[in-house]
Structure 1
Amino acid sequence: MANENSKKKIINRLRTLKGHIAGIEKMVEEGKDCEDILIQIAAVKSSIHKIGTIIVEEHALDCLLREDDDERFDKEKVKKVIKTLINYTK
């Protein structure tokens, strides 16, 4: 997984995301306008995508550029990273 700094950033984004979801729940309970709710849902979707992108990037860097490995890329590691990217973007 990510280094400690990246992990903290991801956790902070996830906590912020929880707050946004709670806000959407409150908007629904209060009968707010559908357009406003959908705007907030779009913002949450964007946040989730950004968090996923950060995690995929960290995974790729961690998997492909480990310091304990030699300089050559391992074909299986590259395939695994590509598969992860494809699954994430579906």
Structure 2
Amino acid sequence: MSEITDQKQIINRLRRTEGQIRGIQKMIEDDKECVDIITQLSAVRSSIDRAMGIIVAENLLHCIDQPSENTDEQNKKIQQAIQMIIKK
């Protein structure tokens, strides 16, 4: 998948997430049920986690496909990507 396609995919995901957040704000203003609001917040969290995963995975693939001549720098980038995945 190309970098531009990945960027479009992430931007589209973030736009959907933005819409979900606006919907949650409206739900709160309309005094909707707590469980419904929490369900939507969980969906937003999942969407953001997925966007983060895509970004980290693409970064890691880039490191592997186009390794740095400096192996210490390469290993540092790979370890950073792994830590981002673990923190998730």
**What's the offset of the Cα at 1:47?**
0.5
Output the amino acid matched with 1:42: S
Highest relative contact order (Cα 8 Å, sep 6+), 1 or 2? 1
**What's the offset of the Cα at 1:73?**
8.6
Q: Relative to total residues, which structure has the larger helix share, 1 or 2?
A: 2
**Structure 1 regions of 5+ residues with no counterpart?**
none
Segment of structure 1 superposing worse, 3-12 or 77-86: 77-86
1-side partners of 2:12 and 2:42: how far apart? 19
Q: Is the 8 A contact 1:64 1:73 kept in 2?
A: no
Q: Which residue of 1 aligns with 2:71?
A: 74
**Cα-Cα RMSD:** 2.2
Output the amino acid matched with 2:41: I
**Structure 2 regions of 5+ residues with no counterpart?**
none
Aligned identity (percent) is 40
Query: What TM-score comes out, normalization by structure 2 length?
Result: 0.84
**What's the offset of the Cα at 1:82?**
1.6
Query: What TM-score comes out, normalization by structure 1 length?
Result: 0.82
Q: Which residue of 1 aligns with 2:58?
A: 58
**What's the offset of the Cα at 1:88?**
4.6
SS of residue in 2 equivalent to 1:31:
coil
